[in-house]
């Protein structure tokens, strides 16, 4: 059982996490949800399309202008409070690596801290434990926040992913984070080249076998773009193919930009796997 906020998710229930960037320079939407009203409209649409989690981020992952902790909090804390007020049952996640920001968003109503930079601030897990909220434990290859990988190597990238993420998850539980609210994430593109991310996808079942629920953040990422030689706005098909493979291998949570399309892929895979009945079954029966 995966338990986040007020929600519980069964072992074969795929969970969609919709991305809402409160940044003016996001690689994908270029600031489309930086202002409050477009961002709230995005939340409403994502929930209507089937997202159970809203992931709010105040700093883009890649290099760019410095964003202080105070500015990150300004972009996210009040928005978290408003989403909590308007959507009391939705799971609110905040994408941050900073403990002080985590503290502020938890006080505002966040249910999950999405630590995409692999525990670079060990205090973030302590915040999650203190507030009894969930935590995403990600492999970032030791990279510092907002840096790009350069000639990074691994003897075995998946072995490193397992060692780091399981270690972070066990530490979180030891600190007091509820075990049923901890997820692990292979960290596609983070501290990895394209071949590393492809191998992490191909061997995702090894992460699933640890027993920790696996979150994948695949949406329109560079490894998809490089694999198919496509710019950001032409990566949806590659993303959905990678999503289908990840679902077949047992991933539980999918962090995405395109909610409706992802939901169709996940429902189709679940039906093929025998975990979901077809929505309609008339063929050959009339």
263 is catalytic: no
255 is catalytic: yes
User: Of these residues, 60, 75, 252, 255, which one is catalytic?
Assistant: 255
Pick from 177, 161, 27, 190: nearest CA to 113: 177
Handedness of CA 111, 116, 122, 123 (dihedral sign): negative
Tokens of 107: 């006080």
Tokens of 143: 């990279």
SS3 12: coil
SS3 119: coil
CA distances 105 to 50, 100, 128, 216, Å, are: 24, 9, 11, 23
User: Of these residues, 60, 221, 235, 252, which one is catalytic?
Assistant: 221
Taking a C-beta distance cutoff of 8 angstroms, is the pair 21, 34 a contact?
yes
Crossing angle of helices 99-108 and 69-86, in 10° steps, is 20
Q: Cα separation of 196 and 227, whole Å?
A: 12
> Which residues are known to be catalytic?
221, 255
């Amino acid at each position: 059982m995966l338990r986040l906020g007020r929600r519980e998710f069964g072992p074969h229930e795929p969970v969609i996490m919709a991305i809402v960037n409160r940044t003016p320079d996001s690689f994908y939407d270029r600031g489309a949800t930086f202002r409050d009203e477009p961002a709230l409209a995005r939340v409403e649409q994502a929930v209507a399309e089937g997202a159970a989690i809203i992931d709010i981020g105040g700093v883009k992952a890649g290099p760019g202008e410095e964003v202080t902790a105070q500015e990150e909090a300004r972009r996210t804390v009040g928005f978290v409070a408003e989403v909590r007020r308007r959507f009391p049952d939705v799971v609110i996640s905040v994408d941050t690596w900073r403990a002080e920001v985590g503290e502020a968003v938890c006080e505002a109503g966040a249910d999950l801290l999405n630590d995409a930079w692999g525990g670079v601030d060990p205090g973030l897990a302590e915040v999650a434990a203190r507030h009894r909220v969930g935590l995403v434990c990600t492999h970032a290859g030791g990279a510092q926040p907002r840096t790009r990988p350069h000639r990074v190597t691994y003897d075995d990238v998946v072995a490193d992913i397992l060692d780091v993420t399981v270690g972070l998850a066990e530490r979180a539980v030891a600190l007091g984070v509820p075990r049923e609210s901890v997820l692990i994430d292979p960290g596609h593109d983070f501290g990895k080249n394209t071949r590393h991310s492809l191998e992490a996808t191909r061997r995702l079942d090894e992460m699933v076998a640890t027993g920790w629920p696996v979150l994948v953040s695949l949406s329109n990422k560079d490894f998809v773009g490089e694999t198919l030689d496509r710019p950001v706005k032409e990566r949806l098909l590659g993303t959905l193919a990678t999503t289908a493979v990840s679902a077949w291998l047992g991933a539980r949570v999918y962090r995405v930009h395109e909610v409706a399309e992802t939901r169709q892929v996940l429902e189709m895979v679940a039906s093929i796997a025998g975990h979901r009945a077809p929505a309609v079954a008339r063929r050959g029966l009339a």
